[in-house]
Amino acid sequence: MNTAPEWIARSVSRLRSTAPVADKPAGDAKPARAAADKTNVTDVVAKVAAPRSTNERLAATLRRGQEALSPRALRRLLADLQEVVAPQVSEIEGGRRAQGVADWYATAEPEERRDMWLLLCEQFAPDATRFKSARQRYEAAAGTAEEGQAEISLRRALVSPRTRLLQRFAVFPEGMRFLVDMRAELLPLLKSDKRLLALDAELEHLFTTWFDVAFLELRRLSWDSPASLIEKLIKYEAVHDIRSWADVKNRLDSDRRCYGFFHPRLPNEPLIFVEVALVDHISASITPLLDEAAAPADLARATTAIFYSISNTQNGLRGVSFGDSLIKHVVETLNAEFPRLRTFATLSPIPGFRSWLGKHAAAMLEKLDDKRRAELGRAGGFEPPQAAHLLTALEKPLDLEPRSPVRQMLLECAAHYLARELAEGKPVDPVARFHLGNGARVERLNWGGDPSTKGLKQSYGLMVNYLYDLKRIDKHRGLLAQGKIPASGDIESLCR
């Protein structure tokens, strides 16, 4: 079937072909007309393809181009949404009507769902006139006895109909699940359609309140947990893939602990979970921790808790932070069960390191003095050493000898990456940003810590320990706020 833009293009072309081109010799008329036709067809098609606002579509009669819902269907959906927040409707009845819209949404096509998002953004926005008036009143009342009342009016003016509408969707039993999933579907489209930003911001704001740690429950996941919950642990594990039931049983053995945060409206869905190994030293490699054949550690000798995997499970809750509170709650829980525990550290991947070094290898080589540069060149057979030569020498990092200058260079680059590289005042590596933001410090680099294909691809097999020194968490946060990454002496000695 021919599309509307194609039909218009052909129609315009036929019309243009009968019109004379002024001030041109007869021999040049055809090329000139062709050029004019091309320009005008492009303009017409561009106008047809330009997205209309929901206001324009609601006032129209016919669907245009790639629009999913017809104007009539769009008006009907808008009416259904308005009925959810009608002033005379109770919370319970509003929730029932919201569930009806959610049922429609479940069977809608992706583009039809986007039409609903656009309605939420454009038809349920705050009243700009009311907001402007309330703001002017608040500014005029500053420092007077009326300031408090003016602030109340301003706050009320900022509450959009969209807020009340989304709150009604949270009323019915599966409403919270619906909203979280809807935002997960919305997030990938924000860069290409800025009109959706308001809805995303509204949902994130509401989730920050609804999923506050005060409303969350810390629960332990064990081998005795329901199978459906263990299956979700397997599904959502994001750091070290769970390969089998034997693997998951090992992670839930007597010398291990797994905890998750749960919300009462999502009772069987962990929002975030952490896997912990109880050992007698800070672990340097993930391999023994994931060894299914290894005997359980002696809990009587355990002095150290190693957080080796932390996984967020809900994409729709991006921007809502649970990790800080989760680690604190887990530390308190472990201390109560195992008073001998003294050290709390992670064994973490460095997911951004290899990509970063590919872009900054030349700059890191420039930091070397002539002696170090010559040693590195002789070791790799690439004098004088260039970035491409260094990266080639690192293709098989696990084969490098302990005293290899190439190996030493890689460790120095990794230490610099973790302890020096900042973007907008925050560590560039996402895992470092998480743990350092929670008050940990960079403690130790571990060669060959993750020899898996994934580990080699991310960080040449390197892993890092972040130490949670409970007495210095606030100090470490203060240093990070000043643009200084807290790191141990061993890490500092590697930085150049």
- List the catalytic residue out of 329, 435, 459, 476: 435
Q: CB of 417 within 8 A of CB of 356? A: yes
Cα–Cα distance list, 124 to 118, 184, 478 (Å) = 10, 21, 41
In degrees, rounded to 5, the angle at the alpha carbon of residue 17 between the alpha carbons of residues 11 and 19 is 110
Q: CB of 286 within 8 A of CB of 450? A: yes
Write the CB contacts of 152 (distance below 8 Å, at least 6 apart in sequence): none
Write the CB contacts of 270 (distance below 8 Å, at least 6 apart in sequence): 219, 221, 229, 232, 233, 236, 260, 261, 262, 313
Amino acid present at 424: E
Pairing state of beta strands 256-262 and 272-279?
A: antiparallel
Q: Which H/E stretch holds residue 277?
A: strand 272-279
Q: CB of 326 within 8 A of CB of 274? A: yes
The question of whether 348 is a catalytic residue gets the answer: yes
Tell me how far apart the alpha carbons of residues 132 and 478 are, in angstroms, rounded to a whole number. Answer: 39
- List the catalytic residue out of 348, 389, 416, 476: 348
Residues catalogued as catalytic: 348, 435
